[in-house]
Structure 1
């Protein structure tokens, strides 16, 4: 596995990985209605690209294929997205991406909004769940957790 910087040409493949992961991996903790609202097939690639370029974005690649990605607002210490390909779960991909992102945070804490599926992963990394909350997507409510790690 190779970790590298984001390139705008990666965006469409990342959107497909996001969709596929949410619709398979996250389906164990959320209903079909919830995953359909969370990950539609209509990602605004221009907005995603702008966000990825504004953040520190790390790509995990294997054999020329993107197998994971994550991004961090370095100044705010906000870990925005972290997704691993559905066929590469539990291989250390997310941990490697988090290690790379946490190491460049300009804050003493890193905050994320973790899904039900990701909560345990973040707890094992030393994040504490500060509060449970409901996020609304297209009129559908999804539970997630505000989690913070002191670094």
Structure 2
């Protein structure tokens, strides 16, 4: 298993990983309507790729298969962190988060899903605020979380 920088040709693979992970792993905490709003079948391919290019994005590969990805912006906002639905609890999220946090100078902030909140809390993130966000008109609960980098 190794970590590398994002390449544009990764975009459709990351999209499939994201969609499958949201619709399986996050299904324990969100309704079908919420999952469909969060990860709809149709999406803007150019915008999806551009967000990865605008941030520092890492990908984890295992035996030639992408099993996780994450990205962070220059201000320390950890935008996405997703691990393949069939590779949960194998240290992939930890590997990605370690690499992304290493880029931050003061703090890392993220909007964690209900499902991801325990992972971030275990890593020393504190919950700043519980919130309801609207994704494609559908209300969803998540949490602003922060980790101070020393």
Question: What is the match of residue 15 of structure 1?
Answer: 15
Which ranges in structure 1 are unaligned for 5 or more consecutive residues?
none
Equivalent positions of 1:50-129 (< 5 A) are: 50-73=50-73, 75-105=74-104, 107-129=105-127
Match of 1:49 in 2: 49
Question: Under a length normalisation based on structure 1, what TM-score does the superposition of the two structures give?
Answer: 0.96
Moved over 6 A (4+): none
**Cα distance, 1:43 vs. partner?**
2.3
Unmatched segments (≥5 aa) in structure 2: none
Q: Which moved more, 1:130-139 or 1:116-125?
A: 130-139
Note the 1:132-147 alignment, pairs <5 A: 132-147=130-145
Aligned residues: 149
Q: Partners of 2:42 and 2:101 in 1: how far apart?
A: 30
TM-score (normalizing by structure 2): 0.97
Q: How far has the Cα of 1:89 moved from its partner?
A: 0.3
Q: C-alpha deviations, 1:74-129, integer Å up to 9, x for none?
A: x2100000000000000000000000011012x30100000000000000000000
Bigger mean CA deviation after superposition, 47-56 or 119-128 = 47-56
